[in-house]
Structure 1
Amino acid sequence: MADTYPSYVDDKEKAGSGSEVTEAEKAPEVAIARRFGRVGGWMATLFDAGVEARGVERVPEDERETKNTWNNLLMWWSVNTVLTTIPIGVLGQEFYTLTFAHSVATILCFGALGGVATAFIATLGPHTGLRTMVITRFSSGYVGGTIYSILNILTQLGFSTTAVILGGQTLASINPGTLPLVVGIIIIGICSLIPCFIGYNMVHLYERYAWIVTFIVMLFLWGLGGKAGFHISAQKPLEDSGRALSVDILSFGGIVFGSFSGWAPVAADYNCRLPATTPPMKVFLLTFLGLYIPICFVEILGAALMTITNPDYVNAFANGSTGGLLAQVLSPWHGGGKFVLVLLALSVVANNIPNTYSTALSIMSLGRPFALIPRFVWTLLAFAIYTVAGVAGREHFSEILSNFLSILSYWTAFFIVIVAEEHLIFRRRGGPLGGYNLDDYDSPSRLPLGVAGVLAGCFGVVGAVVGMAEVWYTGPLGKDAGTEAYGADLGFELAAAFAAVTFVPLRYLEIRVTGR
């Protein structure tokens, strides 16, 4: 990867407009203060206190603040060693009647595919100094980048909604009847807001250490679950066979892939301040390991907890979903178990922080009018939206999670393919474009028109539609690959394939006609 990573263009002859750094890039706090007059003075006070002023402006090389690439590993470890990862493993048995062995195999295989995709996107951050949604402009133009930003806003708000619901459920289950679920959801939302309001450095500071406590808690759950009695063959009488089993694995695999690839649209947001000389392979490996190890570890824990056949545990899950089951697992420790449950509920904050932070950045990526509003304002708006949504959907967590993650895997699949092909084929050294002209990131007239990227994305949507299998719709290929009762969810695979096949010829044609 290090040998094939395309350079970016920074000389005046190629860039056309030079490589001048704007005030918004060099000193965003000054630009904002001037923009808002008297209110700008109050904002400047916030910036002086440590609130991040930078939004989606490119981070110039001499403004890069950290060389600690290990933050990549620790951040993603914290983000995913959390309560919200457990229910994904639970879905294998709850909805798809898979045995523990088949659930584990599906998690490991589909997780590796999603982890590779997300880790690749992460490598683009240090070498461009740009946020993920802005990077999409180099493959899909300004219009295409705006479309991806909208999709990502919905994605991150959806993630946040499921996170605050599960965290609230767990807090409410500690002493049933004493803490209303609505209050629990609001508590999780506020705790998630604070680091995101402050910004990039506080996000990394929190995520650097948050994994320590939650990883120990996960070990407790493994131990207490084992004491309660894992019965790894418990699901065998209920599991499908033959073609129906393949349907279950493919459908659950799409959810697992979504739990990994769902981070791809934000992966570059958290290392765009690393030096441009950071080896891409190092970023790739640390990101992949930071995703793959904790997500597999925790999702497999969720699958293992579903094999406990003790009636008390079965009833706890039936009455209180995943939060009720975890409360039952920790019940032998009495008061100590309730304390651990509080820690587990608060672990959701680490997961929800990147959702909240990147939602604000995606809103700013919609276009210049949105980018003019300070990042922390959009952060507050995102918090308000997902907290209200969490309160409204608090009784339907499993359904929201299952349907949301399946749909999520569709668009992230073709997004990843299009960005990867642009990067590896058209922006490679010696390729048709020879690198990235990074000064053009906010200049629609110098970016690609985006026709190729948008059309390839549309073909990706077509692939998803014909291959998907959801409760509310099954595509024709999904039906053919499935059984009479259920379709096979081939949505993300076909979305990626359709986009991959169409983008390359369309992009060659676009470059030939427009030169960009």
Structure 2
Amino acid sequence: MTAAEPTTDGSYRDRLVAVEPGGNEFIAEADRHGRPSQLLWTWASPNLEFATIFLGVLAVSYFGMTFWQAAAGIVVGAGLGALAHFFLSARGPQLGVPQMVIGRLPFGFKGNAVPSVLMAITAGVGWFATNSVSGAFALSTLLGIGPLLALVLVVAVQTALAFFGHNLVQAFERWAFPVLAVIFAITAVVIMGKADLSAPAVEGGVGGVGGFLLTVGAVFGYVAGWAPYAADFSRYLPATVSPVRTGLFAAAGLFSACTILAIVGAASVTIVTAATDNPTDAFTSSLPGWLAAATLLAIAIGAVAANAINVYSAGMAFVTTGVKLPAHIARALATAFFGVAGFLIAWWALADAAASYEAFLLLIAYWVGPWLGVVFADQYLRRGHRVDGFLYDRSYTNWPGLASFLIGLVVSVLLFCNQEKFVGFVVRAVPELGDITFFIGFLLAAGCYLVLCRSKIESERVAV
């Protein structure tokens, strides 16, 4: 029960143009570097992109919210997601391992393969394809080239960044941040100035409490969707840094970028524009020509910033499932695989880019909600424990943790899911609930874990 931790060898540290060696090993002190403040742009840059803007568009156009109702739902959903990110990022420097390796504590080594696969697919295929499509549309409009060629260019850049690994990804987020922040700040001022913030809700939307909860759920799904990556980008920080500062900078970057751009997206719907099948073109059509071009460039850069992180962490999660690859290039090989898979899905999605975005966001929340419930319940029960001996022990099991996750996921979906293809049994009777699957899943999984795993974890405290 005290397996030795594989560690990095100190050769990577802060090198930029070098393939990050290995996969999910513990980061040795010789490789530690950086400051908590860098997490501000690490998590702001990938959210200064069109997928964030479209959250607000969904709230007004599809969920039937007024601008102010949408803004309130966006703040609540983003706040809850950023709070989760705070706690998970804060733990990274202390444990020095990726987020999904930490997940071996509540799920066991083998059981952890279930959320790891879910995360790898969500990030490396789902989010990768979603962001690649928005980036491709923006680049296509900006350069006057075909969407497929634009997609190839976007995918090539973001996969190359992720293939090299942590340091180059972090550097790109830092370089992209001032460009994205300035362009989107100007765009936000122009759009807010033209928007009719007192416009009535659109007809045919969900509206009411149900629409508000759908807004909260979709935004939470987007923001909390980054939670399974949190420690991936704080684990290289020195173990001596402040956990509070680490968590605050990570959460602040995530919350500020998501709330501001999603609210701008909600405002943009109130501006009358010509109909178009290109969502990025629709968003920029009310802007002056020079600013529209700059915004399209920012959307493309933001897509690359987001997907460099998505495909990097997808590769990390895939390695954490226990699949055996050559140790020195394990993460890089997995990253290349998800780059190809994500490209194929994005190519298929070019024909109808926005059709399933709402469903995708809620589906993320469905599994991330109970996953967070289990992870936080485990962190609470293990407070003050040493956990390093369990993280790489292939014999370590915690099947009640996986059972808690599955109970929270299955029961919450069956009762409270509100999707086009399936409506939960409770929602059928009380449709005004909207979709609160993620809340119920979180609470149910956390409660089950506290009941089922308390004695096991207490016995492990003695063993350590």
Instruction: Please state which band the TM-score falls in when normalised by the shorter chain.
Output: over 0.9
Q: How does 1:456-471 map to 2 (within 5 A)?
A: 456-461=404-409, 462-471=411-420
Distance 1:246 1:513, change over 3 A: same
User: Partner residue of 1:497?
Assistant: 443
Q: Write out per-residue CA displacement over residues 298-351 of structure 1, whole angstroms, 9 at most, x where no aligned residue.
A: 000100101113xxx1x2xx3134212133123x325x6334422332221111
- How far did 1:197 drift? 1.4
Q: Corresponding residue for 1:92?
A: 59
CA contact (8 A) 2:158 2:308 kept: yes
Identity %: 23
Structure 1 residue 28, shift from structure 2 partner: 8.5
Letter in 2 for 1:53: P
Q: Hey, what does 2:221 align to over in structure 1?
A: 258
Give distance in 2, aligned partners of 1:321 and 1:87.
12
Q: For 2:31 and 2:299, locate their aligned partners in 1 and report how far apart those are by CA, in whole Å.
A: 34
- C-alpha deviations, 1:414-457, integer Å up to 9, x for none? 111211111122x112xxxx231x14322122x3x221111101
1:159-189 Cα deviation digits (max 9, x unpaired): 11100011111222336xx411111111111
SS across alignment from 1:91: helix
Residue of structure 1 equivalent to 2:361: 405
Q: Distance in 2 between matches of 1:234 and 1:347?
A: 29
Matched, 1:356 2:323: no
Distance 1:271 1:88 in 2: 27
C-alpha deviations, 1:106-165, integer Å up to 9, x for none? 001121111101221111211111101110001110122111110101110211110001
| Distance (whole Å) between structure 1 residues aligned to residue 2 and residue 129 of structure 2 | 45
Instruction: Find the structure with the greater CA-based Rg.
Output: 1
The aligned length equals: 457
Distance 1:48 1:269 in 2: 17
Compute the displacement of 1:89 (Å).
Answer: 1.1
Q: Give the letter for the 2:171 counterpart.
A: L
Compare relative contact order (CA 8 Å, sep 6+) and give the higher one, 1 or 2: 2
One-letter identity of the residue aligned with 1:301: V
Question: Does 2:424 match 1:475?
Answer: yes
Tell me the alpha carbon deviations over residues 282-304 of structure 1, each in whole angstroms, 9 at most, x when there is no partner: 11111111111111010001001
Q: Does 1:444 align with 2:394?
A: yes
> Residue 225 of structure 1 aligns to a residue in which SS?
helix
1:227-268 C-alpha deviation (Å, 9 max, x unpaired): 5x2112323363779xx5111111121100011100000000
Residue aligning to 1:10: none
Instruction: Report matched runs for 1:162-241 at 5 Å.
Output: 162-174=130-142, 178-226=144-192, 229-236=194-201, 238=203
Shift of 1:199: 1.1
Matches within 5 A, 1:292-303: 292-303=255-266
What does 1:12-31 correspond to in 2, within 5 Å?
16=2, 22=6, 25-26=8-9
| Separation of aligned partners in 1, 2:8 and 2:31 | 11
User: Compared with structure 1, are the counterparts of its residues 208 and 339 closer, same or farther at alpha carbon in structure 2 (3 Å cutoff)?
Assistant: closer
Q: Which residue of 2 aligns with 1:50?
A: 18
Instruction: Measure, in 2, the Cα distance between the counterparts of 1:329 and 1:184.
Output: 23
Shift, 1:48, TM fit: 11
Q: 1:290 to 1:226 in 2, by over 3 A?
A: closer
Q: Distance in 1 between matches of 2:263 and 2:192?
A: 13
Matches within 5 A, 1:267-346: 267-309=230-272, 313=273, 315=274, 318-330=275-287, 332-333=288-289, 337-346=292-301
Alignment pair present for 1:145 and 2:95: no
Deviation at 1:458, TM superposition (A): 1.1
Deviates more, 1:78-87 or 1:109-118: 78-87
Q: Indicate the SS of the match to 2:351.
A: coil
Alignment root-mean-square deviation, CA = 2.3
Q: What letter corresponds to residue 306 of structure 1 in structure 2?
A: V
**Gapped runs of 5+ residues in structure 2?**
none
For residues 412 and 129 of structure 2, the distance between their equivalents in structure 1, rounded to whole angstroms, comes to 27
Indicate how the Cα distance of structure 1 residues 48 and 107 shifts in structure 2: closer, same or farther if over 3 A, else same. Answer: closer
Equivalent-residue separation in structure 2 for 1:174 and 1:26 (angstroms)? 44
- More displaced 10-residue stretch of structure 1: 217-226 or 178-187: 217-226
Which residue does 1:390 correspond to in 2?
Answer: 346
Q: Is the 8 A contact 2:35 2:241 kept in 1?
A: no
Q: Describe the superposition over 1:436-493 as per-residue Cα deviations: whole angstroms up to 9, x where unpaired.
A: 1x14322122x3x22111110111112233111011111012223314xxx6211101
CA distance in 2, matches of 1:506, 1:78: 40
Q: Is the 8 A contact 2:10 2:31 kept in 1?
A: no
Provide, for residues 76-126 of structure 1, a one-character-per-residue CA deviation record: whole Å limited to 9, x for no partner.
111112232111111011211211010000001121111101221111211
Q: Do the aligned partners of residues 327 and 271 (structure 1) sit closer, same or farther apart at CA in structure 2, a change above 3 Å counting?
A: same
Deviation at 1:223, TM superposition (A): 3.2
- Supply the distance in 2 between the matched residues of 1:134 and 1:114 (Cα, whole angstroms): 21
321-330 vs 51-60, which deviates more? 321-330
In structure 2, relative to structure 1, the CA distance for the partners of 1:387 and 1:48 (3 Å cut) is closer
Amino acid at match of 1:341: L
Pairing 1:26-37 to 2, within 5 Å after superposition = 26=9
> In 2, distance between residues paired with 1:199 and 1:287?
19
Which of 105, 116, 120 lines up with 2:72 in the alignment? 105
2 CA distance for matches of 1:21 and 1:421? 24
* Other-structure match for 2:454: 508
Q: Helix, strand or coil: the match of 2:68?
A: helix
Name the CA distance, whole Å, in 2 between partners of 1:397 and 1:454. Answer: 34
State whether residues 98 and 239 of structure 1, in contact with CA within 8 Å, keep that contact through their aligned partners in structure 2.
no
Structure 2 partner of 1:41: none
Deviations 1:363-413 (A, max 9, x none): 111105147452211111111011110000112222222111101011111
Q: Distance in 2 between matches of 1:371 and 1:127?
A: 27
Alpha-carbon distance in 2 for matches of 1:50, 1:478: 52
Bigger CA drift: 345-354 or 230-239? 230-239
